[in-house]
């Protein structure tokens, strides 16, 4: 299934395909039924037509036969036949006799002419038009061989041929003398084939025609003659599919009476399928269509729309950035359960998140506790006080003082973890540090201070002086081996303060100074280990945001002086 | 002479402060110490200090709570918070209270002296000498009976003391203290303690644990309770139980 298609669209598509499928089936089926029944109907109609014509022909032939008998026994005809050869007047009499009879039938028959031959070939005739007469034709023998029975032929198989080529149906028979039973002549009745054309045209057929067994046209639809085949010479009705007047149709034909063949082209049937059946089929299709529409509506209302709503609600939840429940009213079905499951999942997730956050908070608290314990060594302070008390009890005043200084140093050194402190406090740290160091190293150095009171409340980065002083002791004064001076000077300037740390120690070489002043590329590393000389300089540069805030002047063997320039920061008062 | 009291749960801290400052030289009198806020509340009526050094982090009643209770009853009391906790939250709470100074441990003598000199100036300006005010209502024996009944009924309240009772009945606390002793033959503090200890003895006999008994009689600090009990009965609580 295409992912981009919605359920609604897919359903619609499926139903359209189904509809097309059923429509095609319907049309095909109905057309098959129609064609089949059309053929049947055509065939039946054709048969009826053929039978009608055949019956009519039978009846006609009976009439003609009857007429022939009357002519045969007509006194004047018999007289002519019994007479001698050259008695012309008798022929006239005979003709009159024939007329008597033919006139009787004139209303019902289409007798074109009647010929009565004597055995010697003389003949009397009635009728219109002229004929070629060929008495000694093979047909004469055939007629005679029938010994008085009437036979049908076309143009008497050549014995009589109308001069205008109009085909004639001939009824011939031998005439025997009633008393002597001797053959006295032959009677030929020429029947105009038009006799049947009216009957042919009366039939409900696309076309009908009358032929002889050779396929010669007698009357009716001339076009149909071209479709003649030998198959139609059978006495049973034969049907063939063929194109007639531009339409495919059934051509039926047979030969009810030798030598005649009747052909019939199937009629066009207006309604092959009963209208009720079509109607019913149409109704089924309509009902199907309506149910599809209903189904689409149903799916859209009960499945697609709730899913859209659910999707929208989820989307809103997503875009809001919070894990919110879906408050949308959902139908109480599978989709409702889906929404419920989603809400359940959201609740669970929220719970998990809350638990996670809680745990994280607890972890942070725990970590904070650890850090606090490291930053605020309560134990250290209390122990220092306890030892101080012991010192006081023993009257060890120096020990008490030293412990007090140590306590003060650590309190300021560790206090709060501030990054910036007032210079007064920074100085206090340094002084405490120097006091403690003096306890260790005795008279190795003296510390001097030249302080500008205005600078005391200025804020400076924490622990910038102590490391410099430490450096002065260990790399300046002590290596020199004689008593030295460490002097801290502060001075207020227009937009900052200048702090100098001077020591009368061994001094620094140019290379040492350059090395100390080279900015450290790996800042983060130096920040961590930033309490040596190099690190401290980097730290001051970082806080003051400039490379030229630290200067070192030195004369090897004489002195070293660090000069720090700190731009003015906010002033704070010590304490609370 | 201003009277100074120290409240700290650490003995060495109390002793150090006591020993390292030249109180006399500063014109001050060190009148006593307490190991907890609870103990301080109980003895403050007897000691009647003008200046109190108080540690923040103490069990049962911390320095902040003590300050709240104490300054409510003794509005002129000068509180100096002395703590190892360099913590903003405590500092903030102290700012809300009438705490005069806030000092960080470990103490430095010079800092303490500086602070004390400042505090003395403040007290001088307020003109407080720890003397009785005059013109308070007369306390007759009936009032004392009422107070005795009140104490008997309310001694389980850990925050009850001379000042709170005096406030309750509208008397001056030191006048009440004198009058109480005069009428009943024992001090207010002793009477309150007697009520509590008598009850504690009953509880001890019933086999209560010490910290439970301490809570029940209105001394939620079992250390202080234990000392009081021993002082009162001559026996420790567990010995008494046994």
Candidates A388, A395, A424, partner chain B, best to mutate (most B CBs within 10 A): A388
For residues B15 and B112, state if they share a domain: yes
Q: Are B80 and B169 within one domain?
A: no
Residue of chain B minimizing CA distance to A388: B16
A400 interfaces chain B, CB cutoff of 8 Å? yes
Query: What is the number of residues in chain A?
Result: 576
Quote the CA–CA distance of A337 and A399 in Å, as a whole number.
Answer: 79
Query: Is residue B188 included in any domain, yes or no?
Result: yes
User: CA quadruple A267, A270, A275, A278: dihedral positive or negative?
Assistant: positive
Q: Is B18 on the interface with A (CB under 8 A)?
A: no
What is the Rg, in whole angstroms, of the alpha carbon atoms belonging to chain A?
Answer: 70
Shortest Cα distance from B115 to chain A (angstroms)? 12
- Contact call for residues A347 and B68 (beta carbons, < 8 A): no
- Hey, are the CB atoms on A415 and B86 less than 8 Å from each other? yes
The one-digit pLDDT tens for each residue of chain A (576 residues) are 445 667 777 777 887 888 888 888 888 887 888 778 777 887 888 888 888 888 988 888 888 888 888 888 888 888 888 876 666 677 788 888 888 888 877 766 688 888 888 888 888 888 877 888 888 888 888 888 888 888 888 888 888 888 888 888 888 888 888 888 888 888 888 888 887 888 888 887 888 888 888 888 888 888 888 888 888 888 888 888 888 877 778 888 888 888 888 888 877 665 555 677 778 878 888 888 888 888 888 888 877 788 888 888 888 877 777 777 777 777 777 778 888 888 888 889 889 989 999 998 888 888 777 766 665 677 888 888 889 999 988 888 889 999 999 988 988 887 666 678 889 989 999 999 999 999 888 888 899 999 999 889 888 888 889 999 999 998 888 888 888 999 999 999 888 899 999 999 898 888 888 888 887 655 444 444 445 788 888 888 888 877 788 899 999 889 999 999 988 765 544 443
B134 lies in a domain? no
The number of distinct structural domains making up chain B is 2
Q: B148 and B111: one domain?
A: no
Q: A290 CB contacts (<8 Å, ≥6 apart)? A: none
**Of all residues in chain B, what percent carry a pLDDT higher than 90?**
27
Q: Domain holding B204: CATH number? A: 1.10.10.60
**Residue A273 resides in a domain:** no
Mark whether B94 and B182 lie in a shared domain. no
Residue B118 domain flag: yes
Task: Tell me how close the Cα of A506 comes to any Cα of chain B, in angstroms.
Answer: 35
Tell me the β-bridge partners of A321: none
Q: Which residue of B has its CA nearest to A416?
A: B86
Q: Residue B41: is its pLDDT beyond 60?
A: yes
Residue A384 with chain B: CB contacts under 8 Å = 106
Of the candidates B19, B91, B104, the beta carbon closest to that of A411 is on: B104
Q: Which residue range forms the structural domain that includes residue B219?
A: 141-241
Specify the CATH number for the domain of residue A473: 3.30.565.10
Does residue B188 sit in the same domain as residue B81?
Answer: no
Of B77, B98, B126, the residue that ends a domain is: B126
Q: At which of B96, B126, B156 does a domain end? A: B126
Give yes or no for a cis peptide into B106 (omega within 30° of 0): yes
Cα–Cα distance for residue pair A163/B85, rounded to 1 Å: 154
Rounded Cα distance between B107 and A41, Å, is 130
Pair B68, B157 in one domain: no
Q: Are B90 and B153 part of one and the same domain? A: no
Closest partner residue to B13 (CB to CB) among A376, A385, A403 is: A385
Whole-angstrom Cα distance, residue B1 to residue A308? 86
d(CA A129, CA B43): 173
Q: Is A247 exposed, middle or buried (0-12, 13-18, 19+ CB in 10 A)?
A: exposed
* For residues B207-216, average pLDDT: 90
The answer to the question of residue A316 being in a domain is no
Answer whether A123's CB lies under 8 Å from A135's CB.
yes
How many A/B residue pairs have CB atoms within 8 Å?
66
- B71 CA: distance to closest CA in chain A (Å): 20
pLDDT for res A529: 43
Q: Is the dihedral of CA A471, A475, A476, A481 positive or negative?
A: positive
- Sequence-separated (6 or more) residues with CB below 8 Å from residue A187: A68, A71, A72, A114, A115, A116, A117, A172, A173, A174, A175
DSSP H stretches of helix in chain B: 11-20, 23-26, 37-47, 63-73, 88-96, 109-126, 141-154, 162-169, 173-184, 188-205, 210-216, 222-233, 237-241
b/e string for A275-310 if b means 16 or more Cβ within 10 A? eeeeeebeeeeeebeeebeeebeebbeebbebeebb
Put simply, whether A407 touches B (Cβ < 8 Å) is yes
Taking the Cβ of residue B112 and every Cβ of chain A, the question of whether any pair is shorter than 8 Å is answered with: no
B28-47 per-residue burial string, b: 16 or more CB within 10 A, e: under 16: bebbbbbbbbbbbbbbbbeb
| Cα(B1)–Cα(B24) distance, integer angstroms | 9
Last residue of a domain, one of A265, A287, A321: A265
**Is residue A245 situated within a structural domain?**
yes
Residue B164 to residue B142: CA distance in whole angstroms: 19
Q: Do B192 and B90 sit in the same domain of this protein?
A: no
Q: What angle do CA A549, A552, A555 make, to 5 degrees?
A: 165
Which CATH number is A57's domain given?
A: 3.30.450.20
First to last CA, chain B: 47
- From A375's Cα to the closest Cα of chain B, the distance in A is 10
> What residues form DSSP beta bridges with A126?
A114
Domain contains A541: yes
A437 inside domain: yes
The reply to whether B136 falls in a domain is no
Domain limits for position A240: 36-265
Residues B48 and B102 reside in one and the same domain: yes
On chain B, the residues whose CB falls within 8 A of the CB of A408 are 106, 108
Contact, A232 vs A238, CB < 8 A? yes
For testing contact with chain B, the best of A376, A404, A406, A413 (most B CBs within 10 A): A404
Please report the pLDDT score of residue A488 as a whole number. 95
Find residues 19-58 of chain B whose CB sits inside 8 Å of chain A.
Answer: 19-20
Q: Residue B19: its chain A contacts at CB < 8 A?
A: 389, 392-393
Question: Does residue B95 sit in the same domain as residue B184?
Answer: no
| Secondary structure (3-state) at A474 | helix
What separation in angstroms does the CA of B229 have from each of A367, B33, B195? 42, 18, 12
pLDDT value, residue A292: 81
The answer to whether residues B87 and B145 belong to one domain is no
Of B19, B91, B106, the CB nearest to A404: B106
Residue A135, domain member (yes or no): yes
- In tens, the pLDDT along B93-130 reads 777 777 778 888 888 889 899 999 999 888 888 765 54
For residue A35, count other CB atoms closer than 10 A to its CB. 12
Give the Cα separation of B34 and B21 in Å (integer): 18
CB atoms within 10 A of CB A464: 24
Of A176, A177, A149, A144, which is closest to residue A159 (Cα–Cα)? Answer: A144
- pLDDT of res. B115: 92
Record the pTM. Answer: 0.49
Query: What pLDDT does residue A375 have?
Result: 59
Mean pLDDT over the full length of chain B: 85
Q: Name the domain count of chain A.
A: 2
DSSP string, A521-575: S-HHHHHHTTTSHHHHHHHHHHHHT-GGGEEEEEETTTEEEEEEEEE---B--S-
Q: Give the CATH number of the domain where residue B95 resides.
A: 3.40.50.2300
Residue B103: both structure tokens together: 């000092």
Cβ of B105 within 8 Å of Cβ of A382? The answer is yes
Whether chain B has a CB inside 8 Å of the CB on A395: the answer is no
- What is the pLDDT, as a whole number, of residue B112? 92
How distant, in Å, are the alpha carbons of A312, A328, B27, B215 from that of A321?
Answer: 14, 18, 68, 51
Q: Is B109 on the interface with A (CB under 8 A)?
A: yes
Cis preceding linkage at A446, omega within 30:
no
Q: Is A576 helix (H, G, I), strand (E, B) or coil?
A: coil
Q: Is A128 left (phi over 0), alpha (psi -120 to 50) or beta?
A: beta
| Domain shared by B25 and B65, yes or no | yes
Contact A393 B105 (CB under 8 A): no
Nearest residue to A195 (alpha-carbon basis) of A92, A64, A21, A78: A64
Residue with tokens 């300046």: A476
Show the tokens assigned to A355: 């638990």
- Choose one of B75, B102, B126: the last residue of a domain: B126
Q: Which of A260, A216, A218 shows the shortest CA–CA distance to A50?
A: A260
CB of A446 within 8 Å of a chain B CB? The answer is: no
β-strand pairing of A160-162 with A131-133 = antiparallel
Residue A440 lies in a domain: yes
Per the domain annotation, does A159 fall within a domain? Answer: yes
- Comparing alpha-carbon positions, the chain A residue that sits nearest to B21 is A392
Beta bridge partners of A241: A250
Is B177 a domain residue?
yes
């Amino acid at each position: 299934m295409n992912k981009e298609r919605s359920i609604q669209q897919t359903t619609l598509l499926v139903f359209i395909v189904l509809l097309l499928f059923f429509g095609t089936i319907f049309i095909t089926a109905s057309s098959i039924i129609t064609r089949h029944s059309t053929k049947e109907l055509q065939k039946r109609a054709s048969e009826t037509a053929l039978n009608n014509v055949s019956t009519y022909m039978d009846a006609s032939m009976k009439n003609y036969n009857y007429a022939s008998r009357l002519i045969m026994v007509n006194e004047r005809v018999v007289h002519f036949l019994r007479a001698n050869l050259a008695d012309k007047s008798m022929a006239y009499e005979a003709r009159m006799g024939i007329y008597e009879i033919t006139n009787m039938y004139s209303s019902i028959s289409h007798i074109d002419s009647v010929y009565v031959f004597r055995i010697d070939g003389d003949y009397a005739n009635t009728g219109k038009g002229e004929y070629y007469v060929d008495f000694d034709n093979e047909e004469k023998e055939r007629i005679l061989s029938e010994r008085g029975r009437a036979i049908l032929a076309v143009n008497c198989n050549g014995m009589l041929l109308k001069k205008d080529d109009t085909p004639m149906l001939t009824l011939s028979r031998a005439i025997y003398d009633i008393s002597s039973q001797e053959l006295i002549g032959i009677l030929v009745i020429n029947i105009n084939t038009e006799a049947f054309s009216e009957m042919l045209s009366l039939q409900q057929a696309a076309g009908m025609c009358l032929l002889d067994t050779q396929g010669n046209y007698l009357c009716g639809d001339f076009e149909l003659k071209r479709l003649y085949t030998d198959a139609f010479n059978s006495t049973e009705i034969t049907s063939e599919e063929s194109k007639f007047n531009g339409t495919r149709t059934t051509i039926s034909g047979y030969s009810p009476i030798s030598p005649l063949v009747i052909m019939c082209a199937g009629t066009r049937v207006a309604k092959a399928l009963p209208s009720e059946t079509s109607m019913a089929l149409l109704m089924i299709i309509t009902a199907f269509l309506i149910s599809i529409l209903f189904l689409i509506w149903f799916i859209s209302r009960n499945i697609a729309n709730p899913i859209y709503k659910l999707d929208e609600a989820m989307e809103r939840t997503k875009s809001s950035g919070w894990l919110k429940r879906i408050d949308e009213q959902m139908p109480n079905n599978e989709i409702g359960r889906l929404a419920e499951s989603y809400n359940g999942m959201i609740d669970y997730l929220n719970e998990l998140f809350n638990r996670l956050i809680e745990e994280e908070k607890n972890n942070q608290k725990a970590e904070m506790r650890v850090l606090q314990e490291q930053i605020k060594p309560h134990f250290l302070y209390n122990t220092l006080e306890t030892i101080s008390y012991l010192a006081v009890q023993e009257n060890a005043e120096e020990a008490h003082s030293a412990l007090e200084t140590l306590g003060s140093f650590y309190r300021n050194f560790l206090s709060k973890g501030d990054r910036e402190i007032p210079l007064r406090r920074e100085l206090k740290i340094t002084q405490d540090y120097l006091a403690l160091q003096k306890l260790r190293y005795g008279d190795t150095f003296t510390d001097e201070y030249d302080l500008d009171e205005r600078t005391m409340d200025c804020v400076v980065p924490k622990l910038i002086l102590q490391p410099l002083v430490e450096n002065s002791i260990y790399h300046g004064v002590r290596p020199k081996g004689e008593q030295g001076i460490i002097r801290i000077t502060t001075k207020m300037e227009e937009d900052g303060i200048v702090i100098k740390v001077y020591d009368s120690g061994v001094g620094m070489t140019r290379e040492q100074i350059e090395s100390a002043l080279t900015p450290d590329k790996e800042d983060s590393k130096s920040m961590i280990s930033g309490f040596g000389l190099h690190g401290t300089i980097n730290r001051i540069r970082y806080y003051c945001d400039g490379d030229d805030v630290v200067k070192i002047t030195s004369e090897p063997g004489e002195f070293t002086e660090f000069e720090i320039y700190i731009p003015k920061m906010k002033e704070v008062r010590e304490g609370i | 002479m201003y009277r100074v009291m120290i409240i700290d749960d650490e003995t060495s801290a109390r002793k150090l402060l006591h020993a390292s400052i030249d109180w006399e030289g500063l014109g001050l009198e060190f009148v006593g110490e307490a190991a907890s806020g609870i103990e301080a509340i109980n003895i403050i009526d007897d000691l009647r200090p003008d200046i109190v050094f108080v540690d923040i982090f103490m069990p049962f009643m911390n320095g902040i709570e003590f300050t709240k209770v104490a300054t409510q009853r003794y509005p002129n009391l000068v509180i100096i918070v002395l703590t190892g906790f360099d913590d903003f939250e405590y500092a903030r709470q102290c700012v809300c209270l009438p705490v005069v100074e806030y000092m960080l441990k470990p103490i430095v003598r010079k800092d303490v002296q500086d602070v004390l000199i400042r505090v003395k100036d403040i007290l001088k300006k307020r003109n407080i000498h720890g003397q009785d005010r005059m013109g308070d209502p007369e306390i007759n024996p009936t009032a004392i009976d009422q107070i005795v009944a009140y104490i008997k009924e309310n001694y389980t309240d850990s925050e009850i003391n001379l000042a709170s009772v005096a406030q309750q009945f509208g008397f001056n606390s030191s006048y009440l203290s004198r009058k109480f002793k005069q009428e009943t033959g024992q001090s207010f503090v002793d009477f309150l303690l007697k009520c509590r200890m008598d009850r504690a003895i009953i509880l001890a006999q019933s086999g209560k644990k010490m910290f439970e008994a301490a809570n029940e009689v209105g001394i939620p600090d079992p250390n202080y309770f234990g000392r009081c009990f021993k002082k009162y009965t001559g026996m420790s609580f567990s010995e008494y139980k046994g």
